[in-house]
Amino acid sequence: WDLAQGEVDEAEIGWFASLVFEDPNPDQMAALGRKLLQTKTHFKFSPPAFEIYSQETVERRQEELRKAQERERLVGFGQVFLKGLWDAFCKRRSALPEPDEEQTARIRDLLMTRLCNPDDRDSDALWKTMTQGLPEEPHLALFLAQAWGIVPAHFNFHLCRAQYDWEPGWAEPFAGAVEAQKERVLLGRQEPIAEIVTIDSATTQDIDDGFELTRGEDGFRLRLALACPCLEWEFGSPLDRAVQHRFSSLYLPEGTSHMLPEELGTRFFSLNAGQDLPALVITFDLDPEGDLRGFAPEVAWVRVAANLTYTGVETDIAEGATGMLRDARDLAHLLRQARICEHAVIMDQPDPRVVLDGDPANPQVGIAQSPSTPEAQTIVSEFMILANKAMGAWGLETGTALLYRTQNITLPAESAGVWSEPTDIYRIINNMGPSILECEPRRHATIGAKAYAPVTSPLRRYSDFINMAQIAARLTGRGRLLSQSELESLLPVLSSRSELVGQVQRMRPRYWKYEYFRQNFKKMRWSGVIVDPGSVLVTIALPELQLFLKAPRKIFGDKIRLGQRFAIRIGKVDPLNNEIKIVEAWEEE
């Protein structure tokens, strides 16, 4: 090739033989021909001649050959290594070969890729080849990674599939942008126009709503103050892109990861007691029956007088509190009754908390019931719904593009009301469709709203953050104001991130509940209520755990009726696949 390359593009075997032999005989030409045929990186046989590859083509084909050889060596080693990992996971004794540095890196990358993105096409062929002979288990990559020790026993793979950085250190590269925003906000500091209180859990750090309420003979004057982290925000910046990608704070049994940098979300913009802070203030004028006469939003500063807790407010109301808390309770009940008249559906259910104790790598799982605080919860929920409904209507009136949470379904009229019985809740849930994020205002059936623009959690959800920014820009004439078409172009990204991050929030607590069953199924029994006595599968609700489980009808006997209570015994539990097998049930008296 060195002699021929650049001289001719192709030649027959006799020409090549003349380069190396003075008088080539048939055996010599045959030997040389075999060698040229074997050297596929440099030559291609196109009878009767051999094509001579260029320097560039040879280098490319040599690199392809090198990669193919490396892949072949990796596959050969990897099949043995992964088989050894599987034996280790299954608690079988097996000699595990020691990978070199390059093999370690490549096998680790492959496992993490398949763990975090099981549908990855680039790694699919290699994965199938290296796992030949192993079970077709959907969580195989997780099991092998755990056996190798590169992920912990209860690894939250939903986080990596959502590409969500759990640790607070994600915000460190943006420290300069955070400080610059704080400085710009403080330059616009004003005298507070209201003195508010907040109601949250005692452990809440990102407090994004509070209120001030006065009551007179002609009705109520309610001022809702919402944290305003969008002030002086630089949309399109690296920080904004990172927050948009996170989309929402996550509240999981193992802890909390905030959407915003903690310096902004839990300190600077959080409505902490004793602080003067910027807020979106919505002033509502309501008649004595709680009917809305008018409202006006503005961006202003407020003073936070106190951070109240749900349990503290509930105790005060139960002990006959007078003044603002009593008036807030009365107004909240009026607002709730008005929503029910608009066919709102309200679920009054227990609020179980998953508690993890002991070794963080392998904790003991417990279930604790949150204190019942119906009056305090009603105050907060009804005031926030009032704000979101009002801003949805305001967006339509002012032509401001907003994101709307919609649920444009038709529910039976008898579905309206407050429901607490598991049989009622299950029946109604089966008729409900999911709510979706849209740019067009449509009805939200279960809330009882004609237009519902979420704006009350701007520290915790990016959709609320966007709406807050749109409203603030319209009110102040400063900051980015997206048109309807611009907001619509952003919607696919927001909806995708909402679904991925929302899946983490839904699936992780459920995983720990199932792990709770796995740890306790041999020594505990659970009480449930039949909510669907199906002909083949029976559905039973476990209200204290907020779970619905299915089991064959024969386990419950011949006579099964709606609302019947059973004690159940659990057998096999698979937290990863959300599977629980009920093995025995007997009727409770």
In 421-508, beta strands by DSSP E: 436-438
Residue 229 reports pLDDT greater than 70: yes
Q: Is the pLDDT of residue 555 over 80?
A: yes
pLDDT of 257 strictly over 70: yes
Domain assignments of the chain as residue spans, ordered by start: 10-53, 58-151, 168-511, 521-587
Strand, helix or coil at 366? Answer: strand
pLDDT above 70 for 432: yes
The confidence score (pLDDT) of residue 69 equals 64
pLDDT in tens, 151-177: 999 999 999 999 999 999 999 999 999
What pLDDT, on the 0 to 100 scale, is given for residue 74? 75
CA-to-CA distance for 139 and 146, rounded, in angstroms?
11
Q: How confident is the model at residue 39 (pLDDT cuts 50, 70, 90)?
A: confident
pLDDT at 347: 93
Q: What is the pLDDT of residue 42?
A: 86
**Which residues, other chains included, contact 23 with Cβ-Cβ below 8 Å and sequence gap of 6+?**
none
**Would you say residue 7 has pLDDT above 80?**
no
| Tens digits of residue pLDDT in 325-368 | 999 999 999 999 999 999 999 999 988 999 999 998 899 999 99
What distance in Å separates the CA atoms of residue 53 and residue 2, rounded to the nearest whole number? 11
Q: Taking all residues of the chain, what is their mean pLDDT, rounded to a whole number? A: 93
Above 70 in pLDDT, residue 509?
Answer: yes
- Residues 20-33 have a mean pLDDT of 89
Query: What pLDDT sits at residue 411?
Result: 84
CB-count exposure of residue 506 (10 Å: 0-12, 13-18, 19+): exposed
The two structure tokens encoding residue 365: 């799982």
Residue 173 per-residue DSSP state: G
Burial 197-212 (b: 16+ CB within 10 A, else e): bbbbeeebbbbbbbbb
Mean pLDDT of 108-115: 94
Note if the pTM is more than 0.85: yes
Is the pLDDT reported for residue 140 higher than 80? yes
CATH fold, domain 521-587, is: OB fold (Dihydrolipoamide Acetyltransferase, E2P) (2.40.50)
Tally of CA atoms within 13 A in the half-sphere of 336 that contains its CB: 20
pLDDT > 70 fraction of the chain, expressed in percent and rounded: 99
Specify the pLDDT at position 66: 74
Q: pLDDT category, 68, cuts 50, 70, 90?
A: low
- What pLDDT score was predicted for residue 11? 87
- How far apart, in whole angstroms, are the C-alpha atoms of residue 200 and residue 184? 29
Q: Is the pLDDT of residue 96 over 70?
A: yes
User: Mutual orientation of helices 484-520 and 462-476 as an angle, nearest 10°?
Assistant: 150
Work out the number of other CB atoms within 10 angstroms of the CB of residue 71.
Answer: 15
Residue 113 pLDDT greater than 90, yes or no = yes
54 — pLDDT class (breaks 50, 70, 90): confident
- Radius of gyration of the CA atoms of the chain, in A: 33
> Which pair of tokens denotes residue 573?
């539990």
Does residue 278 have a pLDDT over 80?
A: yes
**Which among 388, 375, 379, 337 has a CA at the least distance from the CA of 213?**
379
57 band by pLDDT with thresholds 50, 70 and 90: confident
Residue 493: predicted pLDDT: 96
User: CB–CB of 296/362 below 8 Å?
Assistant: no
Of residues 470, 561, 575, 559, the one with CA closest to residue 514: 575
Nearest to 391 by CA among 330, 341, 457, 327: 457
Question: DSSP assignment, residue 22?
Answer: S
pLDDT at 105 exceeding the cut of 80: yes
Work out the end-to-end distance of the chain between its first and last CA atoms, rounded to an integer number of angstroms.
92
Q: Kindly state the greatest CA–CA separation across the chain.
A: 121
